Amino acid sequence: MVKKQWEWVKCFFAENFSKNWCSFSGRITRREYIQRNICFLILTALVVLIFAGLINLLGEIGGPIFGLLVVFFAAVFLMMLIVYFSIEVRRMHDLGWSGVVILLNVIPIVNAYIFIKLLCSRGTRGNNKYGEDKLYYEETVSRLEEISICARFKRYMKNDFVKEVFSHHGRLSRCEYFYRFSGLFLIYVIICTCIQIAFILIPNGAIAIQSIALLNKVINGLFILCVFVFLSYDIKRNHDRGNSGWYSLLIFIPVIDLLYLGKQFSLAGDREANKYGDATTVLTEDGVYLNDDF
């Protein structure tokens, strides 16, 4: 079991990091964008930990060794910055944007919009000047991809929210998992942003202190609710791969949680019915699975 998981980790990093790790040409889908960012976060955390440990160990010694260490890690961080830019640029290419748009990330609010757009929006349908469309495109308006994220989540909130939140039964494909996760994330960000604006508008004084304390409780309560909702989605995603819902507890283990999310977003579920329910994907005549990739 451990050997199997280790093999998956090596393949995951080989596919999403070492392959074309600093290329600025081509396109990557939302799934590839998420996977590459997970790899980047894990490697960044490891580099920071190693650097901090060596600084504490050699900091008192000083001298040329310490100076060389600082120069070495500065070069490593510069290389990782290039890797990060390559991920962002290729995702922008998938949307048909020029890589120059990355410069707008220095503008507050605009950078938040760009991040949400890169995370949630499907790339241009069909080939564009930056490369081929990696997702299957079906020329029917009934296809799930023809509906925006906001429209899909609105329909979901209207029809299935209560039924799904209070049930841990059934399955979710990685595509459905992505849309549920994105919608929940957007709602949480929007509400927290409105609350932060309220913080700014509340005048100073005793009433302000009470109001801020109340708003903090609202944010904490909202976070707990979102975690509860997310776990219901995550359990069903585990079911789709034939795993027990108890695997969802891995989300609470630092570092492991990033690898775990990588698997949840990247691995396809069982193509046939399993003990948790029927398959959630649909096989076309062309041999392509719908409601699967994103």
What b-and-e string marks burial along 105-123, b requiring 16 or more CB atoms within 10 Å of the CB?
A: eeeeeeeeebeeebbbebb
Percent over 70 (pLDDT), the chain? 76
Q: At what angle do helices 256-266 and 174-201 cross, to 10 degrees?
A: 130
**What mean pLDDT comes out for the span 251-264?**
85
Distance CA 61, CA 66 (A): 7
Residue 171 and residue 269 in contact, taking contact as beta carbons nearer than 8 Å: yes
Among the listed residues 133, 108, 110, 111, the one whose alpha carbon sits nearest the alpha carbon of residue 122: 133
**What mean pLDDT comes out for the span 247-273?**
86
16-63: pLDDT as tens digits = 566 667 788 888 888 888 888 888 888 888 888 888 777 777 666 566
Q: Per 3-state DSSP, what percentage of the chain is helix, strand, and coil (rounded to 5)?
A: 65, 5, 30
Between 9 and 76, where is the model more confident? 76
Among the listed residues 86, 103, 80, the one whose alpha carbon sits nearest the alpha carbon of residue 26: 86
Q: What distance separates the 2 farthest-apart alpha carbons in the chain?
A: 68
Q: Beta partners for 283?
A: 289
> Strand, coil or helix: what is 18?
helix
Between 288 and 264, where is the model more confident? 264
pLDDT at 14: 66
Single pTM value for the model: 0.75
Q: How deeply is 253 buried, as exposed, middle or buried, from its count of CB atoms within 10 A (0-12, 13-18, 19+)? A: exposed
List of E strands, the chain: 282-283, 289-290
**What mean pLDDT comes out for the span 210-226?**
80
pLDDT at 148: 59
DSSP letter (8 states) at residue 203: P
pLDDT at 89: 92
Q: How deeply is 172 buried, as exposed, middle or buried, from its count of CB atoms within 10 A (0-12, 13-18, 19+)? A: buried
pLDDT, averaged across the chain: 78
Distance CA 61, CA 70 (A): 13
pLDDT at 54: 75
Distance CA 146, CA 140 (A): 8
CA distances from 172 to 19, 28, 239, 276 (A): 29, 23, 8, 10
131-189: pLDDT as tens digits = 888 776 543 334 444 455 566 666 656 555 666 676 788 888 888 888 888 878 888 88
